Amino acid sequence: MSPALTDVIASVAARLHPGMAEDSLGLPDATRYVVVLIDGLGWSNLKAYPGLAPTLERMEATALTVGVPSTTATSLAALTTGADAAQHGLVGFSFRSRPGVIMQTMKWDDKALVPEAAQPVPTWFERIDCESAVVVPAKFAGSGLTRAVLRGADFVGVTNEKAWDDRVSQAAEVAAGHALTYVYERNLDHVGHLKGWRSPAWQAHLARVDAFVASLASAVPAGTCLLVTADHGMVDTPVTHRVTLEFEPQLAQGVDLVAGEARLRHLYTADPAGVAARWASWWGSRAEVRVRADALTWFGESPPSPDVAARIGDVVVALLDDWAALTTTRPKEMSLVGLHGSITAGERIVPLLKGSP
């Protein structure tokens, strides 16, 4: 089995507490571990710009596979629990949380869905018998997603994400007092969405992130192993390959609710077979279309619980190449260039970069 994002903190746990888990990634022995997640840094995205990120390029690299959908909430849950979407239940950027209600996981805007119940798998922060901390934007304190995937760790809020030197000092200070520290950098993903990952703006931010990692590596205490990884890669979608489903009668017919994101759609319908047939005919080789029963293997090796299965679309559509299925119910999607969520290697293969203690 190929290395996966689910193996990262599990391998850290194995090093901190031998016998608790398996170190399938061959991590070095260290007094403490700092895991930095760079949102949106796919393996192919990084490799496309040799010389632009010298610190990251010098680190020992392993390619990891992330689960489906290849999106932030799903991957964060996989990283911190070691479970796939079928088990942790965060099956996409958005999904049907109860009849007639679509919830966005990053906003956790269905307050009726209790985070600890919606994502029931204990996090590694809860399981490891040592001090752990998460260094993330302060605005996420107490949020539904934080309660779902970061519970069990000391929460340390970053108040100014643009104050890079302060962030380095803060993270290094936190690492000195914790055996496991998780650091989240989200802005590369934001630039990629707005400008595309091939844009000069994205390249400039990659260089900025590389400098951040270099400074952090120098600032953490001796005996610290620095690990850098990501939650997904990114695909730029040209305007000519962006389809709004409500504007195409064959795609709109029979669809009651739309969730997921433009590269991985959950469709909820009373006629799964009919909708799947129409979508498969319309998209042809540009997408893979499955009814729920056939799509479950995308979300994990083991069958989900009935509650989690109900969150998955009656029809699930994975867009291929650089195509996107937009919806008028998510108007902000219309302005995005870089997208992710689907099953392609560009979205599902991310780096694990290891620094020496």
User: Between β-strands 287-291 and 315-319, what pairing exists: parallel, antiparallel or unpaired?
Assistant: antiparallel
| Distance separating alpha carbons of residues 316 and 83, to the nearest angstrom | 21
Strands ordered across the beta sheet of 180-185: 60-65, 349-354, 224-229, 32-38, 180-185, 132-137, 154-158
Give the distance from CA 58 to its chain's centroid.
24
| Distance separating alpha carbons of residues 103 and 157, to the nearest angstrom | 25
The structure's pTM equals: 0.97
Q: Which two tokens stand for residue 289?
A: 């279309």
CATH class belonging to 239-336 = alpha beta
Listed by start position, the domains of the chain span 5-83+121-235+344-354, 239-336
CATH number belonging to domain 5-83+121-235+344-354: 3.40.720.10
User: Between β-strands 132-137 and 154-158, what pairing exists: parallel, antiparallel or unpaired?
Assistant: parallel
* Contact criterion met (CB below 8 Å) for 140 and 127: no
Angle between the N-to-C axes of helices 200-219 and 187-195, in degrees from 0 to 180, rounded to the nearest 10:
170
The amino acid occupying position 227 is: L
* Contact criterion met (CB below 8 Å) for 89 and 119: yes
| Distance separating alpha carbons of residues 206 and 197, to the nearest angstrom | 10
| Distance separating alpha carbons of residues 18 and 110, to the nearest angstrom | 40
Q: Which two tokens stand for residue 3?
A: 């290395």
Mind listing the pLDDT tens digit of every residue in the chain (357 residues)?
789 999 999 999 999 998 889 999 999 999 999 999 999 999 999 999 999 999 999 999 999 999 999 999 999 999 999 999 999 999 999 999 999 999 999 999 999 999 999 999 999 999 998 999 999 999 999 999 999 999 999 999 999 999 999 999 999 999 999 999 999 999 999 999 999 999 999 999 999 999 999 999 999 999 999 999 999 999 999 999 999 999 999 999 999 999 999 999 999 999 999 999 999 999 999 999 999 999 999 999 999 999 999 999 999 999 999 999 999 999 999 999 999 999 999 999 999 999 988
**249-263: b (≥16 Cβ within 10 Å) or e:** eebbebbebbbbbbb
